[in-house]
Amino acid sequence: MAVRKPNLESRTKILTMMICGCLVIMLDSPSALLVCFLASLLLVTSAIRTLKQLRLLLIFLFFTTWGLIYSQGIFYNAFPRTVLITLVPVDFPLIGKWTGGIHVYREGLFHGIIQSLRFNTTLVIGCYIVWSTQPRDLLLALSQLRVPGALAFMVTTALHFIPVIVSETAAVLRSQRLRGFRYLRFNLIASVRGVINSFRPILAGNIRHATNLGQSVESRGFSPETTTQRTSLRTSQMGKLDYSLVAILSLCLICVVGLKVLYFCYANGIYYVSWLRGVYTFTREIL
């Protein structure tokens, strides 16, 4: 059965992730970050083949979004900050005095939303790469991008084993439960110990698989030092779509960096010209 030809070349996918990763770090405005996130969602929909993938993506997004917003809401320590909800009042015995009260801050929630949009954009593009790229194409692309052979192989192997790790993790967790273990119970120490113990067979399995695969590819002449001398059965060429996408994204990144630098100079009194006022406003409001 022939494999469907991917829309984007593997190098394009990697460059897209790298450029978008930089872009979302540079952007501060929720609306601009939302646009990036929605664009990444559009990209990943072309790679989703099964309901399981969709479910996995939604679980990832839920937990990262919830975790970041919740943690930033509570632990936000910049000023000004406005208390929205008090979880533990200051006068609460011991914990209240010790922590100075535990509150959820409005600015923290806002900051959490921004951070989750940044993180989720990169996460979604990562999922797109994993679900739409064959390991050998990824290895080839990383080599073409001059990534050191050892690192390229490590990345590729890690992605190759994701389904195996998921299935073995499920087997380990279920078998522990079948031996009477409950992850959610009042004895927190026992629960944590159980979770830590479950890592042991998962880790051991990963090491064993990686060792075997490493030996298998080395036995077939693969060496991280000689990846540049490899030939390839399949030639991989970037097409017009690839070049256009990389060019547009690079241009966006350059523009955003340029505008941010200009705004930084203006805000810190280093450089100001009146005819750039519109640019300063655009940068502050939109970017």
Chain residues binding other proteins by CB under 8 A are 1-3, 50-52, 134-136, 160, 164, 168, 171-172, 174-182, 197-198, 200-201, 204-205, 208-209, 212-223, 226, 229-234
Closer residue to other proteins (CB): 118 or 160: 160
Q: Which two tokens stand for residue 42?
A: 């559009």
Shortest reach from residue 251's CB to other proteins, in Å: 34
Q: Which two tokens stand for residue 117?
A: 């949009």
**Least separation in angstroms between CB 223 and other proteins:** 6
Cα 176 → chain centroid: 30
Residue number, 230 or 277, with CB nearest to other proteins:
230
CA–CA gap between residue 106 and residue 258 (Å, rounded) = 31
> Distance between CA 143 and CA 150 in Å, rounded?
10
Cis ω for the linkage preceding 135 (within 30 of 0): no
Which is closer to other proteins, CB of 122 or CB of 143? 143
Q: Which two tokens stand for residue 189?
A: 């120490």
3-state secondary structure of 195: helix
Task: Give the tokens for residue 209.
Answer: 């698989």
Phi, psi of 86 (to 5 degrees): -105, 120
Closest contact distance (angstroms) between CB of 10 and other proteins is: 13
**How far apart, in Å, are the Cα atoms of 144 and each of 24, 88, 102, 159, 277?**
25, 55, 51, 18, 43
Token pair listed for 52: 């399981």
Nearer to other proteins, 64 or 157 (CB): 157
Complex with other proteins: residue 100 or 221, whichever CB lies closer:
221
Between 60 and 222, name the residue whose CB sits nearer to other proteins: 222
CA distance 154 to 14: 15
In whole angstroms, how close is the CB of 11 to other proteins at the nearest point? 18
